[in-house]
Structure 1
Amino acid sequence: MTAIADKTPMTLRRNRDFGLLWVGAGFSFLGSRVTALVYPMLVLWSSGSKTTAGLIGFTALLPQLLMQLPAGAYVDRFDRRRLMLVCELGCVLALGSLAIPVATGRLWMPHLFAVAFIEGSLLVFYQLAERSAVPHLVVAEQLGAAYSRNEARTRGAAMIGQPTGSGLFAVGNAIPLVFSVGAHLVSLVSLLGIRTRFQVERGTPPAAVRSEIADGLSWLWRQRFLRTVMLVLAGTNMLYQMLVFALLPLFRDEGRPKGLVGVVLACSAVGGLLGALTATKWMRVWSLRRILLVGTMVWAIVTPLLAAAHNVFAMGAVFAASGYVGGVFNVPAIVYVMRITPPTMQGRVSSVANLVSSGAMALGWVAAGLLLTTLTPRQGIAAIGAAMALMAVLAMLSPAIRGADGAAETEPLA
């Protein structure tokens, strides 16, 4: 394999290894987005149990809470490319084992829960390894553009995956699972073609896993601005997942075609895609702090509008606006983290950041399932909107965010 030091600067379009990683990860995320919506749909349309549907969504996202920290340590100590290959092979085997009983009408619920957890766990390892590999495939000056393209790719996968998942589910319950298996196979083949190493050699032997995890936690805790931003994002991510879940019983109770669920959610991906593509422009004029504060205010304004939206196009517009803000914010946030993090700690620090900001998404599914047992879907959406407004107020009043004075926080990143 080629060492990163041997590479000469080139445009991202001509960077063969980055292109292979970009395409392969795109197919991997596409497969995961297809199944993310299918898991609760399998439960909801077969048993009608909102609580069980919320639990399967929670199970699929539970690895975001349980696996982040150990995954970060292993991503920093093992060959990241080989680890990603194992993850893709594991997804193929797990999803393939589920497709057969679903197709024959012999689905066993513990099997469904186990596959959801396994796929979610493998995705955590894959995402951390892929994100940490990017700085070793491109030159430092191209990090902003590279992560912008990665965010656009991820949003594009969600844009295609959600309507694809619900559409294929309407044709046959097992078809989206077979589709996802094929997507992970494409990703596996793409990884096999990459020659560049995904990490630098560590000068000292790795310490115990617990010690390395503690180092990552300790380093992040000392970053006062970053840890506060992560807490704000944890709250907004949890509320967004509750909003996504609320759409399922809303469409079911109002007799809307189930395939339209994915279409509405795809609007969020479209907005996120546009946000990711324009993120570098915002990074040239606004600081990370301003992007965060304005973004939370926009979320607080648009989220309550969904409670009064009865037209599918209006619902899609709300999700598109919310997705745009998320797409704009994610790119500078990732660039900020990777720039201030030592290279040998990128996996661990990313895992801690993901644990705080994304781990709360798993709790969102459980909270939504409980909330909607006492409130109607539209009442629940109104309550979620009020909580989002509270998050915006807390962000504006936070001393760590208001008092940040470093150049990386208060000046444009690009």
Structure 2
Amino acid sequence: MAVSLSRNRDYGLLWSSQALSGAGFSATVIAFPLLVLAITHSPAVSGLVLGVIAAAQLVAGLPAGALADRWDRKKIMLYCEAGQAVAVTSLVAALWWDAVTVPHLVAVGAVLGASKALFGPAEAACLPRLVATEQLATALAMNSARANLGQLAGTAVGGFLYAAGRAVPFVADAISHAAAFVALSFVRLPPSPPRIGPPSHLGREIAAGLRWTWRHPHVRITMWCAVTLNLFFSAYFVVIIVLLQQAGVPSGQLGVMAAMLGVGGIAGALIAPRLHRLLSPYLSIMVVFWALTALTPVALLIHNGYLMGVLFAAIALLPPTASTTINTYQLLLTPDELRGRLSGVMAVAAGVSGAVGPVLGGALMQLVPGGRAVLVCTGGIALITLLFTLSATLRSFPRPDAPQPDTPSPDGEPVAVETPDTAAESG
């Protein structure tokens, strides 16, 4: 019998280390633009430096997935935490010696973004071998709660730490990454299956991961679910912010509204494992889409930031269930030697949709007057909801305990997909 997740020492170390590291990272992301503004007095440079983090994550995303399938995954995670600790410590030293430059800030941002891009696929790929298959959904849901909790804590604390001193949030971040490095060093990861043959060219390995994602219909449809949902909700969020600002809602209320997204996300992550067990994959995904279709136009009736926060908390409550379902089945349907590349593809797709969504929302507010932009976003969500509802591929989505046929590898050879029984035997 598998050890319960709460008593799984190695998963606990991984989870707690990343909760701490994530909070430190979020504090730095908040303090970064404040520091650049104080040094350069240029909002444009501040946006550029902050944008480097996101850009580095996108650029490194696909290579990171391939490297997670090629290199030792624990070492990747350790190197990422060490790299972030060194980069942020160098910034603290530069602040101490009053020698901070924009190129230095850009370099630190690039290291942080690239490290995040590398760490994600390595962690996701090793998770099915760190926890029992029947506990994978719960582990993924707890990771989602961890991300929301770290972002909430880091965002809330970052501003206060910066007020205490320019270097303080970066000192806290460096300590968090160092502590995460120590905790990760004690994590015992089961070895991955031996790789067959020498590694090929990195570009060919990236292409193989893209082909796998595209050729597998159930992986492909869930990727489109995640991408389109992220795209339209990112646009919707910007539209709501602009509408409330135009209505004269105080910035404090806007901050509470944004924080309620995190609160709803944490609550949703806590109930996601139970809903995942109760609902079929199709229902667990479609309930989210239909709930968003119903809830998004309610914003037209609300003109108060606090009440909008309640609506946002309700909107954020169910997506963790869909995310848990999507991530669980994608990992179970994907061979171990391709899991890093799958995670890399998903991260890049989510990053692109998350970047395009706010641009789309801003353009809508320029082109469409007032609340009509909300209706356009709602219409977009309703359209993709209808398309996915009618999708035969999504309706035939297999449960993890259903026998899976051998699936073609990117090179054309059949690859046996792990089921709970085979995963338990290999673990």
Same fold (TM over 0.5): yes
- In structure 1, give the amino acid aligned to 2:325: P
The number of residue pairs the alignment matches comes to: 402
The counterpart of 1:314, out of the listed 307, 310, 313, is: 307
Compute the displacement of 1:217 (Å). Answer: 0.9
The question of whether the paired residues in 1 share the 8 Å contact of 2:286 and 2:388 is answered with no
- In structure 1, give the amino acid aligned to 2:58: L
- In structure 1, give the amino acid aligned to 2:199: P
The counterpart of 2:19, out of the listed 17, 22, 26, is: 26
Where in structure 2 are the equivalents of 1:6-405 lying within 5 Å? Answer: 9-40=2-33, 49=43, 55-99=48-92, 108-197=101-190, 199-242=192-235, 256=250, 263-306=256-299, 309-364=302-357, 374=366, 379=370, 383=373, 386-398=376-388, 401-405=391-395
Deviation sequence 1:2-43 (CA, Å, 0-9, x none): xxxxxx731222221111111112222222222334445556
Compute the displacement of 1:60 (Å). Answer: 2.3
The question of whether the paired residues in 2 share the 8 Å contact of 1:34 and 1:164 is answered with yes
Compute the displacement of 1:167 (Å). Answer: 3.7
Deviation sequence 1:122-159 (CA, Å, 0-9, x none): 10111111111111112222212222222222222223
- In structure 1, give the amino acid aligned to 2:386: M
- In structure 2, give the amino acid aligned to 1:234: V
- In structure 2, give the amino acid aligned to 1:391: I
Cα distance between partner residues in 1 of 2:18 and 2:297: 34
Q: 1:391 to 1:405 in 2, by over 3 A?
A: closer
Compute the displacement of 1:292 (Å). Answer: 2.5
Q: 1:398 to 1:146 in 2, by over 3 A?
A: closer
The question of whether the paired residues in 2 share the 8 Å contact of 1:29 and 1:154 is answered with yes
Compute the displacement of 1:257 (Å). Answer: 5.7
Q: 1:103 to 1:235 in 2, by over 3 A?
A: farther
TM-score (norm 1): 0.82
Compute the displacement of 1:255 (Å). Answer: 8.7
Pair member with larger Rg: 2
- In structure 2, give the amino acid aligned to 1:390: G
Compute the displacement of 1:172 (Å). Answer: 4.3
- In structure 2, give the amino acid aligned to 1:226: V
Q: Secondary structure at 1:201's aligned position in 2?
A: coil
Compute the displacement of 1:392 (Å). Answer: 3.1
Q: 1:398 to 1:283 in 2, by over 3 A?
A: closer
The question of whether the paired residues in 1 share the 8 Å contact of 2:285 and 2:321 is answered with no
The question of whether the paired residues in 2 share the 8 Å contact of 1:162 and 1:266 is answered with no
Q: Which runs of 5+ in 1 are unaligned?
A: 1-7
- In structure 2, give the amino acid aligned to 1:70: P
Compute the displacement of 1:191 (Å). Answer: 0.8
Deviation sequence 1:162-216 (CA, Å, 0-9, x none): 2222443454444332222222112111011123345333233222212211111
TM-score (norm 2): 0.80
The question of whether the paired residues in 2 share the 8 Å contact of 1:289 and 1:409 is answered with no
Cα distance between partner residues in 2 of 1:224 and 1:117: 34
Number of the residue aligned with 1:4: none
